């Protein structure tokens, strides 16, 4: 029995760990201060672990300067020192590794990062970088909780709602390499909403049946949208996620870069061309300046922020380059560029790409977040109500970008203009008194709370499967020329099954073909709501809809390549992220897994 439930936000820019005791008494979630190198030879505790990895060069640090309480000679540097050192030497800095996990144009298990590293500098894979962050958090926990080893706790790791099966699998692989026994994967927007519930015990007084909650999660590298419906059953309020947006590689990093490029042009106009090291320093300063300048428009707040770039060569102080950037400039860049006022019928622009491109992340072609949001709400109308677009009644914001008050106000301005034109009421914000801290730690906190809810000690968001699902079974009949063998349908997921549930199937045996390519056929039904798991339908009728088949090669036993017919039983479960895992289990212990998405989501 675990003593704690641990929630981990494996972020693009920052990672965090929160935990809650497994207790019969009311408990609250705590954020772990993470021990890490803050400078060479100095270990400090920060409530975030920057998702930055630095590859030290030979002799770059004196002996012992990189020692951690649990590792006297680490191969890599993770966290705050990695980020600050990377400003000085970007060729050795690994960043945005999480975004690479979902990049279908690159193999995330291969050493790709840092992209700009010249010959002779070691590169690491995105999976390895993710492993290093997770391993650091695991070691930090064991260092601060010596009496409750990490491996004995219940652990949840969050991913973007838009991560596909491959990206989730890579996240789990990184966790396994980091020594995590069996982590549960949870979506970030759901975790953010769970954090709001945890911080607001009176949440039932803030929403009513029929309400539709929009979660906008803008992190360092991605933007996610989720819709959660409020309903009532037997006098109790229930929450059900009804729509999830597509993967959008667009976030705070894009915005910081836009500000830095604008500031760089100011230096160029004065005859100063920045080199790579100077530009990275400018980039970090612009990130901080953006947050300060957009935080408030109140009188007395700073109207501009200074920018200071050290010169190159021996006379560093004398060669210092100074500049500044104003609130009006930042507002114009970010609000008009990333959050423009658009209509509810807006759509992201498609960019015509060159035939040849550098290997890199597949960033969103259109940086206008509000256009992506308009498209998501239109595509969700069928699942969430509304003739032309889904009409949310409440808004929950999450992600470090939303610490900027001006961005928050613009999102409300745009949403309310759409709702007003549709004759709907203005949207209401869901927030807590400690908003700033929540935006940075909500995902980790919510993951820990969700783990507690799984034990029956908290509120769960329903995400019931909207159909019944079946796997096709070919009838064992003599071959007839020109006629395919009849197909039966074996029920593997019942209608309304809550995500995160395992399905009990009867021990019926089937014959599985291994050692050669084979096709699995799947079916679903919106109308057959009473078929129990394990039901075998003798006829695939019109009430079953065939899904896209899955063609796989299941390896035979040992090194053999010969076709083999193996008697198997089936096991199935639906994960917290909406994936059906169908296992074929042989009597000798061999297991083969098939996986596909059973979630209703906005179309591409």
Confidence of residue 296 (pLDDT cuts 50, 70, 90): low
Q: For position 601, what pLDDT does the model report? A: 44
Please give the Cα distance from 177 to 173 (Å, whole number): 6
Higher pLDDT, 302 or 435: 302
Q: What is each CA distance from 181 to 150, 175, 253, 595, in whole angstroms?
A: 9, 8, 32, 21
Domain membership of residue 452 (yes or no) is no
Is 527 contained in some domain? yes
My answer on whether 61 and 144 are in the same domain is: yes
- Both 19 and 134 in one domain: the answer is yes
Q: What's the confidence (pLDDT) of residue 237? A: 77
Same domain as 591, residue 501:
yes
Predicted pLDDT of residue 41: 93
Rounded Cα gap, residues 321 and 307, in angstroms: 8
φ/ψ (deg, to 5) at 405: -60, -35
In a domain, 42, yes or no: yes
C-alpha gyration radius of the chain? 26
Question: Which distant-in-sequence residues (6+ apart) come within 8 Å of 316 by Cβ?
Answer: 310
Return the half-sphere exposure (C-beta side, CA atoms, 13 A cut-off) of residue 556.
Answer: 12
- Given this model, what pLDDT does residue 358 score? 47
For 171, 361, 377, the CA distances from 159, given in Å and listed in that order, are 8, 17, 22
Q: Tell me: pLDDT of 482 over 70.
A: no
Whether residues 177 and 232 fall in one domain: no
Does position 561 have pLDDT exceeding 70, yes or no?
no
Reduce the DSSP state of residue 435 to 3 states and report it.
Answer: helix
Per-residue pLDDT band for 483 (boundaries 50, 70, 90) equals: low
Mean pLDDT of 550-554: 81
On the 0-12 / 13-18 / 19+ scale of CB atoms within 10 A, 311 is: middle
Of 96-110, 497-511, 546-560, the poorest mean pLDDT is in: 546-560
Whether residue 87 has pLDDT greater than 50: yes
Q: What is the mean pLDDT of the chain?
A: 84
Let me know if residue 197 belongs to a domain: no
Cα separations (Å) of 297 from 301, 328, 331, 407? 7, 10, 11, 12
Q: CATH number of the domain at 392, please.
A: 3.90.640.10
Enclosing domain of residue 420: 206-431
Q: Answer with the one of 385, 412, 431 that is the final residue of a domain.
A: 431
Residue with more model confidence, 270 or 432: 270
Residue 74, domain member (yes or no):
yes
Q: Cα separation of 177 and 497, whole Å?
A: 31
Same structural domain for residues 406 and 547? no
Same domain flag for 295 and 383: yes
Task: Look at 458 and 450; give whichever has higher pLDDT.
Answer: 450
Residue 95: the pLDDT is 86
- Same domain as 258, residue 387: yes
Band the pLDDT of 603: cuts 50, 70, 90.
Answer: very low
Q: What percent of the chain has pLDDT over 90?
A: 33
Which of 46-60, 316-330, 364-378, 410-424 has the weakest average pLDDT? 316-330
What percentage of the chain carries pLDDT values higher than 70?
87
- Cα separation of 71 and 69, whole Å? 6
pLDDT of residue 158: 94
> Strand runs (DSSP E) across 449-549, as ranges?
461-462, 468-474, 487-493, 501-503, 510-514, 517-520, 522-525, 536-537, 545-546
Name which of 15, 90, 106, 115 is nearest 362 in CA terms.
106
Question: 3-state SS string over 212-280?
Answer: EEEEEEECCCCEEEEEEEEEEECCEEEEEEEEECCCECCCHHHHHHHHHHHHHHHHHHCCCCCCHHHHH
Same domain (yes/no): 355, 476: no
Question: pLDDT at residue 295 above 70?
Answer: no
Asked if 518 and 549 touch (Cβ cutoff 8 Å), the reply is no
| Six token digits for residue 551 | 């063609």
Looking at the structure, do residues 113 and 182 belong to the same domain, yes or no? yes
Read off the pLDDT of each residue in 350-379 and give the average, rounded to a whole number.
73
Give yes or no for a contact between 402 and 439, defined as CB atoms under 8 angstroms apart.
yes
Indicate the residue among 431, 455, 480 that finishes a domain: 431
Q: Do the beta carbons of residue 544 and residue 470 sit within 8 Å?
A: yes
pLDDT of residue 555 exceeding 50: yes
pLDDT tens for each residue of 323-339: 888 888 888 898 999 99
Range of weakest confidence among 149-153, 353-357, 435-439: 353-357
Residue 24 maps to which CATH number? 3.30.420.40
* Among candidate residues 407, 431, 455, the one where a domain is terminated: 431
35 vs 229, more confident: 35
CB 124 within 8 A of CB 114: no
Assigned domain for 462 exists: no
How many domains does the chain fold into? 3
Asked if residue 414 and residue 376 are part of one domain, the reply reads yes
Residue 417 within a domain: yes
Cross-strand partners of 470:
491, 523
Instruction: Report the relative pairing of strands 428-429 and 394-398 from DSSP bridges.
Output: parallel
User: CA nearest 383: which of 464, 324, 316?
Assistant: 464
The residue that leads in pLDDT, 246 or 523, is 523
Q: What is the pLDDT of residue 399?
A: 84
Average pLDDT of span 501-507: 81
Q: State the pTM of this model.
A: 0.77
Kindly state whether residues 155 and 8 are assigned to the same domain: yes
- Residue 114 resides in a domain: yes
Q: Tell me the Ramachandran region of residue 369: left when phi exceeds 0, alpha when psi lies from -120 to 50, beta otherwise.
A: alpha
Residues 229 and 376 grouped into a single domain:
yes
């Amino acid at each position: 029995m675990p003593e704690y439930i641990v929630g981990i936000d494996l972020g693009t820019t920052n990672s965090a760990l929160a935990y809650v005791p497994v207790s019969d008494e009311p408990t609250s979630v705590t954020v772990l201060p993470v021990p890490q190198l803050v400078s060479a030879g100095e270990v400090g505790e920060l409530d975030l672990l920057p998702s930055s990895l630095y590859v030290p060069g030979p002799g770059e640090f004196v002996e012992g300067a990189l020692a951690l309480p649990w590792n006297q000679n680490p191969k890599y540097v993770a966290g705050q020192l990695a980020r600050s050192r990377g400003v000085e030497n970007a060729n050795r800095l690994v960043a945005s590794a999480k975004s690479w996990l979902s990049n279908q144009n690159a193999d995330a298990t291969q050493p790709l990062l840092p992209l700009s590293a010249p010959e002779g500098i070691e590169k690491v894979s995105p999976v390895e970088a993710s492993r290093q962050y997770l391993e650091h958090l695991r070691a930090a926990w064991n260092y601060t909780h010596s009496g409750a080893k990490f491996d004995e706790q219940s652990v949840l790791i969050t991913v973007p709602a838009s991560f596909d099966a491959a990206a989730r699998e890579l996240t789990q692989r990184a966790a396994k390499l980091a020594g995590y026994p069996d982590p549960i994967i949870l979506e970030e927007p759901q975790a953010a909403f769970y954090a709001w519930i945890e911080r607001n015990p009176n949440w039932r007084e803030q929403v009513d049946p029929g309400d539709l909650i929009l979660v906008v999660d803008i992190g360092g590298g991605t933007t996610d949208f989720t819709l959660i419906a409020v309903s009532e059953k037997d006098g109790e309020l229930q929450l059900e996620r009804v729509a999830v947006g597509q993967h959008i590689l667009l976030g705070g990093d894009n915005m910081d870069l836009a500000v830095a490029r604008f500031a760089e042009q100011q230096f160029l106009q004065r005859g100063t061309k920045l080199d790579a090291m100077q530009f990275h320093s400018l980039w970090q300063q612009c990130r901080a300046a953006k947050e300060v300048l957009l935080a408030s428009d109140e009188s007395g707040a700073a109207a501009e922020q200074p920018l200071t770039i050290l010169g190159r060569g021996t006379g560093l102080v004398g060669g210092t380059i100074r500049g500044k950037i104003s609130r009006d400039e930042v507002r114009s860049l970010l609000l008009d560029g990333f959050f423009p006022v658009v209509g509810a019928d807006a759509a992201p622009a498609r960019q015509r790409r060159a035939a040849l491109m550098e290997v890199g992340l597949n960033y969103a072609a259109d940086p206008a977040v509000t256009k992506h949001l308009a498209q998501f709400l239109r595509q969700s109308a069928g699942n969430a109500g509304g003739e032309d677009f889904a009409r949310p009644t409440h808004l929950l914001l999450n992600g470090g970008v939303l610490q900027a008050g001006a961005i928050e106000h613009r999102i409300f301005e745009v949403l309310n203009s759409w709702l007003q034109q549709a004759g709907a009421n203005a949207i209401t914000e869901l927030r807590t008194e400690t908003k700033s801290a929540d935006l940075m730690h909500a995902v980790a906190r919510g993951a820990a709370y969700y783990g507690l809810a799984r034990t029956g000690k908290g509120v769960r968001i329903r995400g019931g499967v909207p159909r019944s699902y079946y796997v096709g079974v070919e009838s064992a009949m003599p071959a007839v020329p020109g006629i395919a063998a009849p197909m039966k349908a074996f029920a593997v997921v019942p209608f309304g099954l809550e995500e995160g549930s395992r399905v009990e199937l009867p021990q019926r045996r089937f014959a599985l073909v291994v050692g050669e390519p084979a096709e699995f056929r799947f079916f679903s039904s919106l109308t057959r709501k009473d078929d129990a798991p394990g039901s075998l339908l003798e006829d695939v009728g019109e009430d079953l809809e065939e899904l896209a088949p899955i063609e796989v090669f299941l390896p035979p036993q040992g090194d053999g390549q010969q076709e083999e017919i193996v008697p198997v039983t089936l096991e199935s479960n639906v994960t917290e992220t909406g994936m059906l895992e169908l296992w074929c289990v042989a009597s000798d212990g061999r297991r083969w897994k098939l996986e596909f998405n059973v979630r209703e989501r906005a179309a591409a």
